[in-house]
Structure 1
């Protein structure tokens, strides 16, 4: 997502964290490092997102015709 600002990305990641969809791990290093991973409930969204991707691809093909 090359056009997203750091502030917007941080806001969205914090939102996903508040919904317990992702886990944020902060490392006490210099420079600071943060890693994000999906939580167990977040992983359950993957099949749903895959189906949305399939639907979106089919929809794009249909509207091009």
Structure 2
């Protein structure tokens, strides 16, 4: 796996989403914090399973 520092801001954002980590914009001043949070989540393997997600559907009215 490539180092997190080699990934683009967009890729970091996608990984944060995959691991269920809430985040704001990834910029120079926040990137190190988000990389740290990702490393912790990856070490603990705390990626939420697909069954943890809630899906909503709209009901049609006749």
Structure whose alpha-carbon radius of gyration is higher: 1
Structure with a larger share of its residues in strand: 1
Query: TM-score by structure 1 length?
Result: 0.28
Structure of greater relative contact order (alpha carbons < 8 Å, 6+ residues apart): 2
